[in-house]
């Protein structure tokens, strides 16, 4: 019993340290800036300007908005946009390709904190664009080519509400910072639970068995045995859990910066059990195309993973 209590306390300390000293400052500043850009119409302007180009890949203007939210806010930020696409009659093919793109791209709530410990953010964002657009095109032109096109008309992306636009810059920054704080607070339980699960698996010897089984496969792509744990954690518990476990292992010296960057192409995305379940709840029409989106997202994720292995 005492050993379990010690594991709980150790997991709590590690989780709170990450939340207070890594996640909190990064997410507060990023959310503040994104809120300001949204209020000033920058995000909507970029989305509408790029729409003619991204439609070639099967991504409408609203899809670009979802992309920006994912890359610079958090994995949950695109949900509101996907719900809007679900309600306004956007073509299921557009929804499927947009969803595939989102599943393949990097999520800000994992990539930005990991950048603080060595993740190459520039390369990660570039491979996200390549992998995301490839996933969208693969879904739009191959996986859903026989799907009824439905309503292909564009919905122009609008900037923030009049209420937000009428606020002062300081009010907008404060509101964005408060949203960042809420996101971090929401992450804390998952961080602590993920670290506790990992510590329990270590104590029971399950991690050692799993590492021995998967290490040969990872060695073929140049990843050490220590990366088994964060990768398995990611696909079961999500990007936040992956980020927490990875930082913990890096602090222990078990994973290097190069290992982190080689893993990032496969792991810094919402393509996991938790992410798929959350996105599927965005609406009935979104849920109906998730199978195609997941296949397309896997294609984009694998492409990103190979790019990271080649680059690093």
- Rounded distance between C-alpha atoms, residue 225 and residue 212, angstroms: 8
Residue-level pLDDT at 152: 56
Domain hosting residue 53, numbered range: 2-311
- Rounded distance between C-alpha atoms, residue 183 and residue 177, angstroms: 10
Between 89 and 142, the more confident residue is 142
Q: Where are the alpha helices (DSSP H) in 119-168?
A: 121-138, 162-165
DSSP 130-179: HHHHHHHHHIIIIITTTS--------PPP-S-HHHHTS-HHHHHHHHHHH
**Token pair belonging to 213:** 């089984």
- Rounded distance between C-alpha atoms, residue 199 and residue 205, angstroms: 10
- Rounded distance between C-alpha atoms, residue 221 and residue 30, angstroms: 33
pLDDT tens for residues 51-110?
889 999 999 988 998 999 899 888 878 887 888 788 777 889 999 999 999 999 999 989
Q: How many CB atoms lie within 10 A of CB 111?
A: 25
**Token pair belonging to 3:** 């050993």
Compute the average pLDDT of residues 19-25.
Answer: 79
Structurally, the chain folds into a number of domains equal to: 1
The pTM score is 0.82
Buried b or exposed e, range 131-156, using 16+ CB within 10 angstroms: bbbbbbbbbbeebbeeeeeeeeeeee
- Rounded distance between C-alpha atoms, residue 136 and residue 143, angstroms: 10
The mean predicted confidence, pLDDT, of the chain is 86
- Confidence category of residue 162, pLDDT binned at 50, 70, 90: low
Alpha-carbon torsion angle 245, 246, 248, 250, nearest 10: 160
Q: How many CB atoms lie within 10 A of CB 305?
A: 20
Q: In whole angstroms, how large is the CA radius of gyration of the chain?
A: 20
Q: Which residues are CB-contacts of 224 (< 8 A; sequence separation ≥ 6)? A: 218, 255, 259
Environment class of 40 (CB within 10 Å of its CB; exposed 0-12, middle 13-18, buried 19+): middle
Q: Is the pLDDT of residue 155 over 60?
A: no
């Amino acid at each position: 019993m005492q050993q379990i209590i010690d594991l709980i306390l150790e997991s709590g300390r590690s989780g709170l340290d990450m939340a207070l000293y890594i996640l909190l400052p990064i997410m507060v500043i990023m959310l503040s800036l994104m809120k300001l850009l949204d209020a000033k119409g920058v995000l909507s302007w970029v989305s509408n300007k790029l729409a003619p180009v991204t439609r070639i890949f099967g991504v409408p203007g609203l899809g670009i908005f979802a992309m920006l939210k994912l890359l610079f806010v958090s994995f949950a930020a695109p949900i509101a946009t996907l719900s809007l696409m679900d309600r306004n009659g956007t073509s299921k093919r557009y929804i499927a390709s947009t969803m595939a793109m989102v599943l393949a791209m990097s999520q800000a709530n994992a990539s930005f904190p990991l950048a603080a410990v060595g993740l190459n953010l520039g390369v990660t964002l570039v491979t996200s664009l390549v992998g995301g657009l490839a996933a969208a095109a693969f879904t739009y032109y191959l996986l859903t080519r026989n799907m009824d096109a439905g309503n292909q008309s564009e919905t122009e992306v609008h900037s923030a509400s009049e209420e937000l636009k009428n606020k002062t810059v300081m009010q907008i920054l404060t509101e964005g910072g408060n949203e960042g704080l809420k996101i971090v607070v929401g992450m804390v339980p998952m961080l602590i639970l993920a670290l506790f699960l990992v510590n329990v698996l270590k104590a029971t010897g399950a991690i050692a068995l799993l590492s021995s089984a998967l290490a040969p496969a990872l060695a073929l792509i140049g990843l050490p045995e220590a990366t088994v744990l964060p990768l398995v954690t990611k696909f079961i518990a999500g990007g936040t859990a992956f980020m927490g476990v990875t930082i913990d292992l890096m602090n222990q010296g078990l994973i290097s910066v190069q290992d982190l960057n080689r893993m990032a192409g496969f792991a810094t995305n919402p393509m996991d059990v938790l992410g798929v379940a959350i996105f599927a709840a965005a609406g009935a029409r979104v849920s109906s195309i998730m199978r195609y989106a997941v296949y397309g997202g896997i294609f984009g994720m694998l492409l990103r993973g190979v790019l990271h292995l080649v680059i690093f």
